[in-house]
C-alpha cells in the first residue's frame, strides 16, 4: 500500500505519471481525435460515440470510464490502485481541457499516416511513462480485467481483441479507410509502448571477477549509490577461491562502471547481461 512507500518516491511517481498523462492527451487531441482515428481504449470508443451523439470526446470519456469503474467495483470489487483512478480521470480532464478550454492547434491535414505516426509517438511515450510508474489509464483495461476474472482470458489478448473491435467500429462509423488507419494506429501504439518501456525499465546485471575488488566495491557503494552481492566462486584452472561481485544497475550507468573497472583492473573479467525487470531497492517494487 502507499503508506509503505517513501513520500518522496510517491510524489515522484505521481509527477511522472502526470507528465505521461499530459503527453498522451496531447497526442490524442492534436493528431488522433481531429482525424477520427480510434486507436482503441476509452478514447477510441469516445471518438466513435461522438460521431453518433456530438458530446465532446472528453465528456464521453468521463462517462465511459465512470460507467466502467462502477461496473468493475460492483463485479470484481475495489481492485484498482488510487494512481490508476487518478491517471484515468486526469487524462479525461486534459483531453477536455485541451479540446474545449485552452484550444491547442490540431493537425487536420490530408495525410492520415502523419497523424497516426506522430499521434502514436506522443501517446505511446506518455502511456509508457505512466505504465512505468505502476499505473494505467483505465478504459478498456477494466473490461479486460473483468473478462480475465470470469473467463480466465489473458489480459493482453483480451485488450488486443477489444481494441481491434474498436478500430473495426471506427470503419463502420466513419469509413473503411479510417477503420484501417485506426487498426494500424493500435498496432503501432502497442509496439511503441513496448519499445519505450524496455528503454525505461531495462536494467543491466554485471558480474565482475577481479583481483582488485576493494576499489570496485567502494565505487559501486559510494559513487553509484548501489548495493551488490558477493558470490563465492572458485577458479577452474587456478583452483583459487574468490569473491565475485554481482550488481544490478541502470543501462545508463554501465559505461561509468566499465570505465572505472578498466582503470583499476584492466585484466578484470566482466559479464554484462540485460535484465527485463529488476525488482527491489532502487528499481521497480512490482511488475
pLDDT digits over 219-275, tens only?
999 888 888 999 998 888 888 888 999 999 877 678 789 989 999 999 999 999 887
pLDDT at site 45? 95
pLDDT band at 194 (very low <50, low <70, confident <90, very high): confident
Please say whether the beta carbons of 107 and 115 come within 8 A: yes
Could you report how far apart the first and last alpha carbons of the chain are, in Å? Answer: 15
Residue with more model confidence, 52 or 195? 52
pLDDT at site 5? 60
- CATH for 203-275 (3.40.190.10, 2.60.120.10, 3.30.70.120, 1.20.120.160): 3.30.70.120
**pLDDT of 186 above 70:** yes
Most confident of 33-37, 187-191, 237-241: 33-37
pLDDT band at 276 (very low <50, low <70, confident <90, very high): low
Please say whether the beta carbons of 155 and 148 come within 8 A: yes
Residues paired with residue 166 on neighbouring β-strands, in sequence order:
none
CB atoms under 10 Å from CB of 257, counted, come to 22
pLDDT at site 84? 83
Q: Span 186-208, mean pLDDT?
A: 83
Q: Span 91-96, mean pLDDT?
A: 95
**pLDDT of 134 above 60:** yes
Q: Span 30-36, mean pLDDT?
A: 95
Q: Tell me the C-alpha distance between 17 and 81, whole Å.
A: 13
pLDDT band at 148 (very low <50, low <70, confident <90, very high): confident
**pLDDT of 122 above 60:** yes
> CATH 3.30.70.120 occupies which residues in the chain?
203-275
Rounded (10°) angle between helices 140-151 and 41-52: 110
**pLDDT of 118 above 70:** yes
pLDDT at site 2? 43
Which of 86-90, 130-134, 166-170, 179-183 comes out lowest in average pLDDT?
130-134
**pLDDT of 12 above 60:** yes
pLDDT at site 226? 86
Per DSSP, helices labelled H in the chain are 7-27, 41-52, 57-76, 82-96, 112-132, 140-151, 155-173, 176-201, 213-218, 254-264
Amino acid at each position: 500500500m502507499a503508506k509503505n512507500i517513501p513520500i518522496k518516491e510517491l510524489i515522484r511517481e505521481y509527477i511522472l505519471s502526470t507528465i505521461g498523462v499530459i503527453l498522451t492527451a496531447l497526442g490524442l487531441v492534436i493528431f488522433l481525435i481531429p482525424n477520427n482515428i480510434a486507436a482503441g481504449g476509452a478514447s477510441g470508443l469516445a471518438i466513435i460515440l461522438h460521431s453518433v451523439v456530438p458530446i465532446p470526446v472528453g465528456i464521453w470519456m468521463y462517462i465511459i470510464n465512470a460507467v466502467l469503474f462502477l461496473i468493475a467495483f460492483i463485479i470484481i470489487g475495489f481492485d484498482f490502485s488510487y494512481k490508476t483512478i487518478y491517471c484515468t480521470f486526469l487524462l479525461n480532464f486534459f483531453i477536455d481541457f485541451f479540446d474545449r478550454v485552452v484550444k491547442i492547434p490540431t493537425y487536420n491535414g490530408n495525410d492520415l499516416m502523419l497523424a497516426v505516426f506522430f499521434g502514436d509517438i506522443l501517446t505511446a511515450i506518455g502511456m509508457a511513462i505512466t505504465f512505468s510508474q505502476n499505473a494505467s489509464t483505465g478504459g478498456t483495461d477494466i473490461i479486460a480485467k473483468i473478462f480475465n476474472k470470469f473467463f480466465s482470458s489473458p489480459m493482453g489478448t483480451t485488450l488486443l481483441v477489444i481494441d481491434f473491435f474498436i478500430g473495426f467500429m471506427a470503419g463502420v462509423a466513419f469509413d473503411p479507410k479510417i477503420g484501417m488507419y485506426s487498426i494500424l494506429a493500435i498496432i503501432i501504439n502497442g509496439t511503441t509502448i513496448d519499445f519505450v518501456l524496455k528503454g525505461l525499465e531495462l536494467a543491466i546485471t554485471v558480474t565482475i571477477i577481479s583481483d582488485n575488488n576493494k576499489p570496485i566495491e567502494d565505487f559501486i557503494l559510494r559513487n553509484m549509490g548501489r548495493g551488490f552481492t558477493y558470490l563465492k566462486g572458485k577458479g577452474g584452472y587456478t583452483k583459487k577461491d574468490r569473491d565475485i561481485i554481482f550488481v544490478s544497475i541502470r543501462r545508463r550507468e554501465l559505461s561509468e562502471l566499465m570505465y572505472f573497472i578498466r582503470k583499476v583492473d584492466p585484466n578484470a573479467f566482466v559479464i554484462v547481461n540485460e535484465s527485463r525487470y529488476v525488482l527491489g531497492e532502487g528499481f521497480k517494487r512490482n511488475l
